[in-house]
Structure 1
C-alpha cells in the first residue's frame, strides 16, 4: 500500500548514471551513457518532494515535483526540463513494496505515447529508475531511459 513516505529513500544527494536511447521510439537505437548529480528535498512532512538533476552532458537540468494524494493513495510525478520550463503531463501511480509504477499519456516527436516510470531496487544508498514508452496503449513497452542512483558519501 502506498504511503506519504514512499519516496523518503530519495531525500538527499546522489550521483546518477544515466543510460538513454538515442531514439526514444526506436527500440533498436543505441544507448548513450552519462553522469549526473541530483538532490531531493521533502515537503509536506514527506507527502511531497522536489528534486533537481544536473546533466552537464545534455546542457540541461530537470526538476520533479512529487505529490501524494491522501484520498486516492496515489502519487503524481510532475517533470520539467530547464530547456523548456514547462511541466510535462504527470504520471500517476503507487508503490507496492519497494517497487513503484507510474503511468501517464504524452506525445513524443508528434506521436501519442503512453509513459511508464518504474522505481525499483530502492534502498538508503541506491535506487533504479526506468522510463518506457508505448505506442500501442500499453500492450508493449520500450525502455528508453534508465538512471542508477548512488548515495553521495557524507562530506
Structure 2
C-alpha cells in the first residue's frame, strides 16, 4: 500500500451510476443516471481530490494517505447537503481491492458505511450501509467509470 494506490483514478471520467432512489428511507427501487468526474493528485501525490457532476447537483471527494498509519481516509461533500462534510472512511487496498469503513448517520439512524474500490481501466466503486454493526451490508450505490 502506498500513496500511489489511487493513481488509476487520475483524469476525466464518464460515470454510470446505479443508486437506491431513497437511501434515507432504505428503499428498494434503483435509479440510473450518468455523471462526469475528474480526479487529480495533490500534496505530492499524497492526496487526491475529485469533482463529480450529475444533473442538478455536484459532489467532491478528498482522499488522503496517512503513511504513519498506512491507511487512506476518504471524505465526501455535495451540494445536496450544503455546509456538511461526511465523516471520513478509512481503509486500504489489499490484493488489488480497496475496502474503506466508517460510521455515519443516515435518516436519524447510525450506520456503518463501506466503500469498495476495484481499480483497473474501468474502475468500479460500490457503497454499502450496515444497520447492524457490520453483520450484514446493504448495497445502495454503484459507479462504473469509463475514460472521458
Could you state the TM-score of these two structures normalised by the residue count of structure 2?
A: 0.95
Matches within 5 A, 1:1-155: 2-24=1-23, 29-56=28-55, 59-83=56-80, 84-120=82-118, 122-123=119-120, 125-152=121-148
- Measured against aligned partners, the alpha-carbon deviations of 1:5-55 in whole angstroms (never above 9, x if no partner) come to 000000000000001012326666111000000000101222101000001
Cα distance change on mapping 1:110 and 1:26 into 2, 3 Å: closer
Kindly indicate whether the alpha-carbon contact (under 8 Å) linking 1:25 and 1:142 is maintained by their aligned counterparts in 2.
Answer: no
How far apart are 1:97 and its partner, in Å?
2.6
Task: After the TM superposition, list the runs of 4 or more consecutive aligned residues in structure 1 that deviate by more than 4 angstroms.
Answer: 25-28
Quick one: structure 1 residues 88 and 54, their matched pair in 2 at CA, closer, same or farther if it must change by over 3 Å? Answer: same
Moved more, 40-49 or 23-32: 23-32
Q: How far did 1:98 drift?
A: 1.7
Provide the aligned C-alpha RMSD in A.
1.3
Q: Structure 1: how far apart are the matches of 2:132 and 2:57?
A: 30
- 5+ unaligned residues in a row in structure 1: which ranges? none
How many residues in Structure 1 have an aligned counterpart in Structure 2?
Answer: 147
Structure 2 distance, partners of 1:118, 1:134, is 14
TM-score scaled by length of structure 1: 0.91
Deviation of 1:86 (Å): 1.7
Deviation at 1:82, TM superposition (A): 1.7
CA distance in 2 between partners of 1:22 and 1:38 (Å): 21
